[in-house]
């Protein structure tokens, strides 16, 4: 039997912004940019949530609900810096720490009782230490597996600690709403609700065969999680799964040429990030959202992985031209890179065009790192 902690920072982006600017304390703070623009809420304080705000909602809607809120663009480099500090603090204490996102961590407490004492008492000590050293509030869930611990973390937010003893997992989950299970979102929730599922207990007590017929393999997984079962193995090195960038236009755009200019800038941005993190991508996807909010994606997997701006741009434009079939304005365009693998540079006896281009890309990366993303662009020929 294992003891798995899940730790989630409370309103992490807002907490960091309040460290940078203490005058934001106690105010409804919304991270996401111009409240009159067309972006979305990246994060909001608990004071703002009282007005009905939540992450992912259109920022204009947020402004209508909370016009007196403080709207800021955010400091993403600072979020990364505090995230690294958080991980370093945890790695000093535990042999296995898995970072699930910029503000979310799992760590294995199994066998640590002899060092730190009972898990629920230690959790409070750790919470206080994080607040003292990093000025960041957090919540924790503790159980025998990752799934239950993650659900438990949200049980008493903010600054909550929820301990679910071994053998009590199903009892803890039973009265909770089905949407508390990670993965039960906008698409799956109405499917389950239409069939009479209201609580996690309803799923746990249903026939696993029925759920498998209804939802396939995911139905079996859902039944297992509703019954308190889950994975208790942590990955020591959590690999990045994807890199993406998108932009929401201030006004809908119709012309292909204008949209392709934005694709050019987005591909430069994601390619730069690939090289900075020593990755190459095999799958390139575009995301297209029309003015009526209908959204489509198109993807292509390359024969060879790449970090080349031109290859990513050419593929993205090809996908866009295939996808853009409606005479409707475009609200959002995004580029997504997947199937990442570490880039490895091989020494060659003779230089060829590919090696020269690799060195050129390396020089471009250094210039952008020093002078900004717009300091230099890799050209695209007229025929492209």
Sheet holding 43-44, edge to edge: 43-44, 29-31, 70-72
C-alpha gyration radius of the chain = 23
Q: Is 104 an annotated catalytic residue?
A: yes
> Phi-psi bin for 167: left (phi > 0), alpha (psi -120 to 50), beta?
left
Question: What does the alpha-carbon distance between residue 135 and residue 155 come to, in Å, rounded to a whole number?
Answer: 22
Q: Which residues pair with 139 in a beta bridge?
A: 8
Question: What does the alpha-carbon distance between residue 11 and residue 55 come to, in Å, rounded to a whole number?
Answer: 10
The active-site residue, picked from 104, 239, 277, 345, is: 104
SS3 229: coil
Distance, CA of 37 to chain centre: 22
Which residue, among 246, 197, 181, 259, has the nearest Cα to 40 in the 3D structure?
246
Structure tokens at 138: 């957090």
Question: What does the alpha-carbon distance between residue 266 and residue 319 come to, in Å, rounded to a whole number?
Answer: 14
Tokens 């979020």, located at residue: 79
CB 2 within 8 A of CB 232: yes
Question: What does the alpha-carbon distance between residue 124 and residue 365 come to, in Å, rounded to a whole number?
Answer: 44
Question: What does the alpha-carbon distance between residue 306 and residue 315 come to, in Å, rounded to a whole number?
Answer: 11
Instruction: Provide φ and ψ at 193, rounded to 5°.
Output: -65, -40
Cis peptide before 309 (omega within 30 of 0): no
Which residue, among 92, 125, 124, has the nearest Cα to 107 in the 3D structure?
92
DSSP 255-267: -HHHHHHHHHHHH
Distance, CA of 16 to chain centre: 17
CB 153 within 8 A of CB 103: no
Work out the burial of residue 192: count CB atoms within 10 Å of its CB; fewer than 13 is exposed, 13-18 middle, 19 or more buried.
Answer: buried
What does DSSP assign to residue 40? B
Catalytic machinery residues: 104
């Amino acid at each position: 039997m294992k003891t798995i902690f899940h730790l989630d920072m409370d309103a992490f982006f807002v907490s960091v912004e309040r460290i940078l600017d203490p005058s934001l304390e106690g105010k409804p703070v919304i991270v996401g940019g111009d409240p009159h623009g067309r972006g979305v809420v990246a994060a909001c304080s608990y004071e703002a949530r009282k007005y009905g705000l939540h992450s992912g909602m259109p920022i204009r809607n947020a402004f209508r609900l909370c016009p007196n809120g403080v709207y800021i663009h955010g400091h993403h480099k600072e979020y990364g810096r505090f995230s690294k500090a958080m991980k370093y603090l945890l790695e000093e204490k535990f042999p296995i720490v898995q970072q699930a996102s910029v503000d979310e961590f799992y760590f294995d407490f199994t066998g640590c009782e002899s060092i730190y004492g009972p898990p629920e008492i230690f959790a409070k000590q750790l919470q206080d230490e994080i607040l003292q050293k990093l000025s960041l509030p957090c919540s924790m869930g503790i159980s025998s597996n990752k799934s239950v611990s993650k659900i438990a973390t949200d049980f008493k937010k903010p600054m909550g600690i929820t301990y679910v003893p071994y053998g009590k997992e199903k009892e803890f989950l039973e009265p909770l709403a089905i949407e508390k299970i990670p993965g039960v979102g906008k698409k799956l929730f109405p499917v389950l609700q239409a069939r009479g599922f209201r609580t996690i207990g309803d799923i746990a007590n249903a026939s696993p065969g029925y759920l498998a017929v209804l939802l396939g393999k995911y139905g079996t997984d859902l039944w297992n999680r509703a019954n308190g079962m889950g994975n208790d193995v942590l990955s020591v090195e959590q690999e990045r799964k994807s890199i993406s960038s998108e932009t929401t236009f201030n006004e809908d755009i119709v012309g292909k040429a204008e949209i392709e200019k934005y694709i050019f800038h987005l591909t430069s941005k994601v390619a730069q990030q690939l090289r900075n993190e020593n990755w190459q991508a095999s799958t390139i996807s575009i995301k297209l959202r029309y003015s009526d909010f209908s959204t489509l994606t198109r993807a292509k997997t390359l024969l060879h992985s790449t970090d080349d701006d031109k290859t990513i741009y050419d593929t993205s434009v090809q996908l866009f031209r295939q996808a853009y079939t409606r005479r409707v304005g475009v609200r959002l365009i995004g580029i997504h890179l997947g199937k990442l693998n570490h880039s490895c540079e091989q020494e060659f006896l003779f230089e060829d065009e590919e090696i020269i281009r690799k060195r050129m890309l390396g020089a471009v990366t250094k210039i952008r790192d020093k002078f900004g993303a717009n300091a230099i662009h890799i050209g695209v020929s007229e025929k492209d």
